[in-house]
């Protein structure tokens, strides 16, 4: 099976989507510049200004125009350069896109895709390095997709393009250059279905987005110490596949939730609660959590790395749970 980068997987997904004449893209620097992360390089020349629209720096206008286009029967893909900038369009996303189907009694749908980029580790400092995907997963009417691998990025996006409701498709800034196997033949990955990325028997590590790779690296280190960790990738936050997580914990009897977000109010707390509700009688230790240090993200690279969960932090917390 050929290997491609995460960036190439997203690019392929967008090219496939643009085969539908109803699909067009809007965003800052996605045209002439080729995209802030080079995902849409060459798209403007290939598809033209009618399909690839460079926009002013006004996130509320970008998302609002996307909502209007979706209501009119088109299938817009809106790119917001980072998830931090979606704060400027939260009214459009939360109060309009998420609610219009419900408030119209099903008369209207909003098949809008908001592509955005999350996470730290690129030395972009405090206001450009946050993880807000859990905020959007809190909102009924939205779906939140957080692929960790090229395979999932392509397969999930194909499923997203079949949705009639708004989807926040969240790509991690440090995953674009990662590589993974992706088949040439057509496949899809359904929304709301977690995947066991690594089988294990002693402990379940639950993660999403880039933290899946951190969890896998931690599992390899734990194996050297005789601890066999299972890794579950949520893949989507809403809908959330709690059943796969609970089934894993019932087998391993211990759980550690790993997320890049801050622990206070983080999405990992929701996962931990679902584990407690569904596997309480099977737990041999409290549900553990590892998250980002609760500070604004530093700019200095050494401090930034210290603020983001590492395999070593996950290993230490896992060993504490195993001794509990």
SS3 percent helix, strand, coil of the chain, rounded to 5, is 40, 20, 40
Is 172 a catalytic site residue?
A: no
Check 59, 171, 259, 270 and give the catalytic one: 59
- In whole angstroms, give the CA distance from residue 40 to residue 34: 5
* Residue whose C-alpha is closest to residue 213's, from 172, 251, 264, 242: 172
Concerning whether 138 is annotated as a catalytic residue, the answer is: no
Burial label for 62, CB within 10 Å (0-12, 13-18, 19+), is buried
The span from the CA of 142 to the CA of 123, in Å, is 30
Question: What is the rounded CA–CA span in Å between residue 29 and residue 39?
Answer: 11
For the record, the structure tokens of 75 come out as 């299938």
For 48, residues 6+ apart whose C-beta sits below 8 A from its C-beta are none
Q: Which residues of 205-233 are buried (b: 16+ CB within 10 A; e: fewer)?
A: bbbbbbbbbbbbbbbebbeeeebebbbbb
Name 78's bridge partners.
26, 114
Q: Which of 8, 79, 96, 128 is catalytic?
A: 128
In terms of DSSP H, where are the helices of the chain?
A: 6-17, 43-47, 59-71, 90, 100-103, 133-137, 150-160, 211-224, 242-252, 267-279, 301-307, 311-323
Give me the active site residues, please: 59, 128
């Amino acid at each position: 099976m050929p290997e491609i980068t995460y960036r190439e997987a997203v690019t392929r997904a967008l090219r496939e989507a643009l085969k539908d004449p109803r699909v067009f893209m809007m965003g800052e620097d996605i045209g002439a510049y080729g995209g802030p992360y080079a995902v849409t390089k060459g798209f403007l020349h290939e598809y033209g200004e009618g399909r690839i629209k460079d926009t002013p720096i006004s996130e509320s206008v970008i998302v609002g125009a996307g909502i209007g286009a979706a209501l009119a029967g088109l299938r817009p893909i809106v790119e917001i350069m980072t998830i931090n900038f979606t704060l400027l369009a939260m009214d459009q996303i939360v109060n309009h896109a998420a609610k219009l189907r419900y408030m119209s009694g099903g008369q209207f749908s909003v098949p809008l895709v908001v592509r955005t980029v999350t996470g730290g580790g690129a030395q972009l400092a405090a206001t450009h390095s946050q993880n807000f995907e859990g905020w959007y997963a809190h909102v009924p009417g939205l779906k939140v997709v957080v692929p960790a691998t090229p395979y999932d990025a392509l397969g999930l996006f194909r499923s997203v393009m079949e949705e009639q409701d708004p989807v926040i498709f969240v790509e991690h800034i440090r995953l674009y250059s990662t590589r993974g196997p992706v088949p040439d033949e057509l496949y899809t990955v359904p929304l709301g279905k977690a995947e066991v990325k690594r089988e294990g028997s002693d402990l379940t590590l639950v993660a999403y987005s880039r933290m899946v790779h951190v969890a896998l690296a931690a599992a390899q280190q734990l194996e050297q110490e005789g601890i066999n960790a299972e890794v579950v990738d949520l893949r989507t936050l809403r809908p959330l596949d709690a059943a796969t997580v609970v089934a894993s914990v019932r087998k391993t009897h211990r759980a550690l939730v790993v997320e890049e977000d801050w622990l206070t109010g983080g999405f990992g707390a929701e996962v931990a609660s679902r584990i407690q509700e569904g596997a309480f009688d099977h737990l041999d230790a409290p549900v553990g959590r590892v998250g980002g240090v609760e500070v604004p993200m530093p700019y200095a690279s050494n401090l930034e790395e210290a603020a983001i969960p590492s395999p070593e932090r996950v290993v230490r917390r896992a060993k504490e749970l195993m001794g509990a």
